[in-house]
């Protein structure tokens, strides 16, 4: 005997619509869907999920959340509603739900609208809907990128982790005076000592910690020394824009710190070229000795 398909009945009604409550109640929807299931030899009712008094404008509903969880647990084969708008009135939410049904191999049927993803025509319509959903996501992504670019061009911060030395007020970067003092000390110390290690040791010795209560790492200090946010600029997609936030460090001090960093890198490159290369010969064959290194230990 063929195993029957487990059907979930979903019903919803909004209490702010009295006509809907009286003539299209959850009970009335359930009875019509039950009658449909009864007419199908290969279907059986798994469970009824009912949201009475909830709007269809969003999907944050207790019974619907329970239904979605059961779908993820693979307890359901088909979701059946009286009308599509009982599930949701939002096209965006409907696309998302159809995608979730597709992911867990769950079919969807609307009794009154002949929408049935278990049929070829229903699957075609579902695929068209999913294509439009993907198209809408890509459009939304482009709109977001355009908006962020416009914000950057206006010198506005685009969000993310708030740079040390600043805080956010009304979506704008504002100087955090206590943290800014530490940022200034880091730059001043680097200009006089040229050593990230010394800054690290000094901060640790003085008990200076970051927002999470952790000591500053050397990589964090190096990042601060290279961050153009501190001279009132922002970077977005590789391009630098003048920011509307106040700088913590002057351009002269920042540029001097970058010059010191470049000089230290040049010294490291000279060291890696091996100063004695080409000067020492092999006693046995007379060939010049060469150098190599490895990261293996």
Q: Which has the minimum average pLDDT: 7-11, 22-26, 144-148, 250-254?
A: 22-26
Residues 54 and 101 sit within 8 Å (Cβ to Cβ): no
Q: Which has the minimum average pLDDT: 49-58, 62-71, 228-237, 271-280?
A: 271-280
Mean pLDDT confidence for 264-281: 56
Mean pLDDT confidence for 291-296: 51
Q: What is the DSSP string of 164-232?
A: TTEEEETTEEEE-HHHHHHHHHHHHHHHHH--HHHHHHHHHHTT-B-TTS-BPPHHHHHHHHH-GGGGT
**Strand pairing of 43-52 and 5-13?**
parallel
Does residue 203 carry a pLDDT above 60? yes
Does residue 58 carry a pLDDT above 90? no
The domain limits of the chain are 5-136, 166-250
pLDDT digit string, tens, across residues 204-213: 999 999 999 9
User: Binning pLDDT at 50, 70 and 90, where does residue 224 land?
Assistant: very high
pLDDT digit string, tens, across residues 34-56: 999 999 999 999 999 999 888 88
Q: Which class is domain 5-136?
A: alpha beta
Q: What is the DSSP letter of 276?
A: T
Give pLDDT, residue 92: 81
Does residue 266 carry a pLDDT above 70? no
Mean pLDDT confidence for 247-260: 95
**Token code pair at residue 33:** 């869907």
Residues 10 and 67 sit within 8 Å (Cβ to Cβ): yes
- Please, which residues bridge with residue 241 across strands? 234
Q: Which has the minimum average pLDDT: 43-52, 54-63, 105-114, 268-277?
A: 268-277
d(CA 174, CA 156): 12
Mean pLDDT confidence for 264-278: 56
**∠ Cα 18 34 125 (to 5°):** 85
**Strand pairing of 172-175 and 166-169?**
antiparallel
Does residue 21 carry a pLDDT above 60? no
Mean pLDDT confidence for 99-107: 93
Put simply, whether the predicted model's pTM sits higher than 0.85 gets the answer no
Please enumerate in sequence order all residues whose Cβ is within 8 A of that of 123, keeping only pairs 6 or more positions apart, or say none.
Answer: 117
Does residue 65 carry a pLDDT above 50? yes
Q: Which class is domain 166-250?
A: alpha beta
CA 192 to chain centre: 41
Region for residue 10 given its phi and psi (left: phi exceeds 0; alpha: psi -120 to 50; beta: otherwise): beta
Say what percent of the chain tops pLDDT 90: 58
Give pLDDT, residue 297: 45
Q: Which has the minimum average pLDDT: 42-46, 53-57, 174-178, 275-279?
A: 275-279
């Amino acid at each position: 005997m063929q195993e029957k398909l487990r059907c979930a009945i979903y019903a919803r009604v909004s209490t702010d619509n009295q006509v809907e409550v009286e003539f299209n109640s959850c009970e009335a929807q359930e009875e019509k869907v039950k009658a449909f299931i009864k007419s199908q030899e290969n279907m059986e009712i798994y469970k009824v999920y009912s949201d009475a008094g909830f709007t269809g404008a969003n999907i944050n509903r207790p019974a619907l959340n329970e239904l979605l969880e059961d779908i993820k647990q693979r307890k359901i084969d088909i979701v059946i509603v009286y009308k599509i708008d009982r599930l949701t009135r939002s096209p965006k939410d409907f696309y998302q739900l159809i995608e979730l049904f597709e992911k867990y191999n769950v079919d969807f049927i609307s009794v009154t609208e002949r929408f049935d993803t278990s049929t070829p025509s229903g699957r075609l319509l579902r695929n068209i809907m999913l294509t439009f959903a993907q198209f809408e996501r890509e459009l939304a992504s482009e709109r977001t990128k355009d908006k962020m670019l416009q914000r950057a061009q206006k010198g506005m911060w685009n969000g993310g982790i708030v740079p040390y030395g600043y805080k956010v007020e009304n979506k704008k970067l504002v100087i955090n005076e206590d943290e800014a003092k530490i940022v200034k000390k880091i730059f001043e110390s680097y200009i006089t000592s040229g050593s990230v290690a010394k800054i690290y040791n000094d901060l640790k010795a003085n008990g200076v910690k970051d927002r999470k209560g952790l000591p500053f790492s050397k990589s964090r200090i190096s990042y601060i020394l290279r961050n153009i946010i501190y001279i009132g600029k922002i970077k977005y997609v590789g391009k630098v824009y003048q920011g509307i936030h106040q700088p913590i460090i002057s351009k002269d001090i920042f540029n001097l710190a970058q010059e010191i960093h470049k000089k230290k890198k040049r010294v490291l490159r000279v060291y890696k070229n091996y100063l004695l290369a080409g000067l020492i010969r092999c006693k046995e064959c007379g060939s010049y000795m060469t150098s190599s290194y490895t990261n293996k230990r």
